[in-house]
Structure 1
């Protein structure tokens, strides 16, 4: 009995330490959705994907958002239809006229664990719509989206290289996170391509992905740049 009494306080201390560590490493990403333009009005806060906003009673009613991170909003459920991307650090936006009162789903690109973690996200449809495939490590095949990728998003401070062949073969284009948002030492680095053709690759041609800039064909936001190959971290 005496041994049990000694073990329990140690176990409680270990659990308390683990809980404190978890609380001390928060994910800062959030989105607050408002149904009117009053900054002091009621809102619903999202920390994760919502494929169907009717579940939260917010379908076709969002006109204003305040957020941290990069978020994608869609006019149809399950991330389809017209889409728009919004970024910021504790920033607010009125929803564009093309989406106002029509938002039916929302999600974010990148890591579920940290807003500025190095991550890539591939999308089945143009403008970041449809099914996705995401990760933070090299993949010799993009599995369910093999030859079915139409748009791309990346986050964090590393470029990524996208290949038209399995096992990092075929044509390749390197994409950098050219957009940088910061406020009070909180940073968000991201980049994206709404249509794969912007990278100079045929639609539905991406088959593998590697971290770093592993080709001379570098896209920095407006057009491919040649002869700028770096190492795996893009340096």
Structure 2
């Protein structure tokens, strides 16, 4: 009977294949080396005595991640756990764990094992009841603040929060285990048997969001209790590649304006427009208050309740306050909409003359700001170059990434910038790759938000944004040697729960990619050669961002 069963599994596996994984199954055997009586499972089994198979498992043949428990109901009572993950993998249980399993379950999606998803388990070691989702979860149902272990499947990281509105203590977790099948199938897992070991307090998880994803697109998820059949999942699809960028003159859509309102209401916990705007107004710096006075003196006297003549102000100081006030408004709106923006200043500590950029500037002399930048206030990742055209000629590079971050350039890098650009998409949270002509992110670039079968072999450095890994190949059509690269060197957290993720690689030779060899790019991790580099050496690194220098 063993051969017919394996034939059925082979056919079923082939029919169930997708580009993102295969369906879960396990064949359990009563003897070592896949011999003796066997039983096939494609679903949860909370009590193996119902299948006449209690305390009978000695070896398995399976695809996906399966967990085998000593007690019924997935160890609602404490007991031993044996786990196996892989693609068409065989495993013999050790003598201490043979003939002990009384329940079993798979982890993740029932149909597409590499679908992006997370599972929070009630107990440590993946025991008890669970909550499973493939999208943002505003709560974990009955397991809200009752989770003790986590498994992540697919390629996306996830951020787990202790409070509502994507706030409080939070931790971004990545899938860090990769299995590859003989036919190129790839399964990715992140296994965390005790959340306290990774800095998450036990029974503290209230919400979970796909890292760096839009909270506005979250949809409710439903708890999957330990005795129920798992619901069918919907596979994720990569976004098509685009080569364009939003031009500065493009207008906002109603959807973007809705995004502004949503983030502001979450940030300040107000739903009444007047209360919200008043709270935002009070939270802005003193310069904005003075700017408001300059624009609306009559409103100022009404709001304060004091009838007083307006004081004369120095015109230069007024213009300075006006520039700062406008900048604060634009920066606030820029963050809410999700676009990169930088305000550059001629003086240290955000002082002096300033200019706001939301797009590339290949020659700052066109803006009367060449060799003038000494400090910046920005959101997103921006690169500041010593020479025009993004250092087509060799020169110094200063980089800053973060959310509402302020940075003062060191003396050697002050007043030297002649060009600047942001990294990634006008949508800060979009999955993107950028391959730069030169090392240190210099020269021309090739940019995309999806897979591409062919690019010119002229790349020496890479930056990734968003949550998806990318595989870079040295031949067209996703062939030849491939290297899987993750956006996990740097992660920034905003005060309202925003998360920006980057993979910053100033010299691709340092991560095992030959210079000027990249010929095609594929979304997802499709190679056993997985790169996880360390963050760049930084002048400063904090919760909301970092900055540093790069020398040619």
Q: TM range, normalised to the smaller chain?
A: 0.7 to 0.9
User: Under a length normalisation based on structure 2, what TM-score does the superposition of the two structures give?
Assistant: 0.35
Query: Which ranges in structure 2 are unaligned for 5 or more consecutive residues?
Result: 1-13, 214-401, 404-487, 493-498, 504-552
Is 2:62 aligned against 1:62?
A: no
Task: State the shift of 1:42 in Å.
Answer: 3.2
Q: Deviations over 1:158-194 (max 9, x none)?
A: 0111111122111111111110001121111011110
2:197 matches 1:202: no
Deviation at 1:96, TM superposition (A): 3.0
Alignment check: 8 A CA contact 2:57 2:100 kept: yes
- Are 1:140 and 2:138 counterparts? yes
Change (3 A) 1:192 1:47: same
For 1:188 and 1:113, how far apart are their aligned partners in 2? 13
| Residue 233 (structure 1) shift | 7.5
Aligned to 1:158: 156
**Any residues of structure 2 matched to 1:1-235 within 5 Å, and which?**
24-25=15-16, 27-80=22-75, 81-183=79-181, 184-213=183-212, 228-229=490-491
**Distance 1:155-1:53 versus aligned 2 partners, 3 A rule:** same
Give the whole-Å Cα distance in 2 for the aligned partners of 1:118 and 1:233: 17
Structure 1's consecutive aligned runs of 4 or more residues displaced over 2 angstroms after TM superposition are 23-28, 38-42, 96-99, 213-216, 230-235
Looking at both structures, which has the greater relative contact order when contacts are Cα pairs under 8 Å and sequence separation is at least 6? Answer: 1
User: Structure 1 regions of 5+ residues with no counterpart?
Assistant: 1-22, 217-225
* Counterparts in 2 of 1:147 and 1:187: CA distance versus 1, 3 Å: same
Q: What is the alpha-carbon distance in structure 2 between the residues aligned to residue 190 and residue 141 of structure 1?
A: 22
Count, aligned residues: 204
Coordinate RMSD, CA, aligned:
2.4
- Identify, as 1 or 2, the structure richer in helix: 2
CA-to-partner distance for each residue in 1:88-120, whole Å, 9 max, x for gaps?
111111113332111000001111231111110
Shift of 1:40: 4.5
Change (3 A) 1:24 1:87: closer
Instruction: Give the SS at the match of 1:54.
Output: helix
Contact 1:158 1:234 in 2 (8 A): no
The structure with the larger Rg is 2
Judge which range, 98-107 or 70-79, deviates more. Answer: 98-107
Q: Contact 1:213–1:234 (CA<8 Å) still a contact in 2?
A: no
Q: Report the Cα offset of residue 25 of structure 1.
A: 4.2
Counterpart Cα distance in 2 of 1:43 and 1:167: 48
Q: Distance in 1 between matches of 2:195 and 2:55?
A: 29
Q: Give the conservation status (yes or no) of the 8 Å contact 2:123–2:149.
A: yes
Q: Distance in 1 between matches of 2:16 and 2:135?
A: 22
